[in-house]
Amino acid sequence: MEAVEKKKLRHELLRGDFSCQRSTENEPIPLACTPHLHSDLELIYMEKGAVLVQVGSRSEILKEGDVFLSFPHQIHAFSGLGKTEAYMRFTVKPEVFPEYTELFRKQVPDSPIIRSVGDIPRVDDLFRMLFDSEQEADVPPVQKVKRRSGYLLALLSELLARMSLHPYAAEDVSSLRDIIRYCSEHFSKGISLSLLEEELHLSKYHVSHLFNKELGMGFSEYINLLRVSEACRLLFNSSESVTRIGEAVGFNTLRTFNRAFIRHMGVSPSEYRRAGASAAEADRFTRLSMTARIPERAGRESGTEES
């Protein structure tokens, strides 16, 4: 089977803890997507059509009735096969499932695809109830979140029971995925290549080479991207000041926070927060963050040291 063409990776940013999208035959949204990664769970229920899925070096076809489930920080891509694609797509922060924290940290699926889920009525119903509940405008937010959490937990329980998982091997610690996971857990602290070298027992020059070769950016740029991603979430979901949020995600000064945020989002943190008052504007900025190309070179204005 022909593999997806190797391209530079990009890191997707999720506003808030959850997002959903639906493609239908009447209003199709192509699923084709270049190699990317994120710290979230991604769940796709294929209702019609098929796409080629690549996770790492493994390629499979996601067909009608199948479900795709990627764990945090798994590099994956989608390629269209010339067919109409109808699907439901959900992205959710793994922190929503404290019951599975250790599982997401220590295990990975043998395959990201669960076959013929559409033949299981209760699972099909859960997907439809989850999506439909998100479209109900007259439901109080607190009730909607509780209902969403219930549906998601039930779905995850059903899907994980049908997946084969295996633990990370100790020798895999040098993989890009494990480096990325370490960065995602420590980006708000004084992280550096020297610290990464000490903690993971890897050459900082090797790590720097991996970032530039596989992600198309420097180490500092990637850390700032993680910080901006978390800042987006906090700007929408907390009342903390912009200065406090910048400090909380790891920037040493408001100046470096503003510069990094504008570099990745195209607007200042204050402008991004004000956009939260308008759903249309919020969606526009979310799409910007999801599709923007990662800069080829790391900027010099950074709250992170390379060395």
Best-predicted range by mean pLDDT (26-40, 51-65, 116-130): 116-130
Q: Which residues of 81-110 are buried (b: 16+ CB within 10 A; e: fewer)?
A: eeeebbbbbbbbbbebbeebeebbeeebbe
Alpha carbons 225 and 39: distance in angstroms, whole number: 12
Q: Which residues of 127-158 are buried (b: 16+ CB within 10 A; e: fewer)?
A: beebbebbeeeeeeeeeeeebbeebbebbbeb
pLDDT band at 16 (very low <50, low <70, confident <90, very high): low
Answer yes or no: CATH 2.60.120.280 is held by domain 10-167: yes
pLDDT beyond 50 at 242: yes
Say how far residue 236 (Cα) sits from the centre of its chain: 17
pLDDT band at 292 (very low <50, low <70, confident <90, very high): very low
pLDDT beyond 50 at 284: no
Rounded to an integer, the average pLDDT of 12-39 is 81
Answer yes or no: CATH 1.10.10.60 is held by domain 170-291: yes
Longest dimension (CA), the chain: 55
pLDDT beyond 70 at 276: no
pLDDT of residue 149: 94
pLDDT of residue 248: 95
Q: If DSSP codes are grouped into helix, strand and coil, which group holds residue 266?
A: coil
Tens digit of pLDDT for each residue in 208-241? 888 887 777 788 988 988 898 888 888 888 889 9
The domain segmentation of the chain, as residue ranges, is: 10-167, 170-291
Q: Do domains 10-167 and 170-291 have the same CATH topology?
A: no
Q: Which of 54, 50, 56 is nearest to 80 (CA)?
A: 50
Q: If DSSP codes are grouped into helix, strand and coil, which group holds residue 255?
A: helix
Q: Residue 113, CB half-sphere, CA atoms under 13 Å: how many? A: 20
pLDDT band at 10 (very low <50, low <70, confident <90, very high): low
pLDDT beyond 60 at 288: no
Q: Percent of the chain having pLDDT more than 70?
A: 81
Rounded to an integer, the average pLDDT of 189-202 is 88
Q: What's the chain's average pLDDT?
A: 81
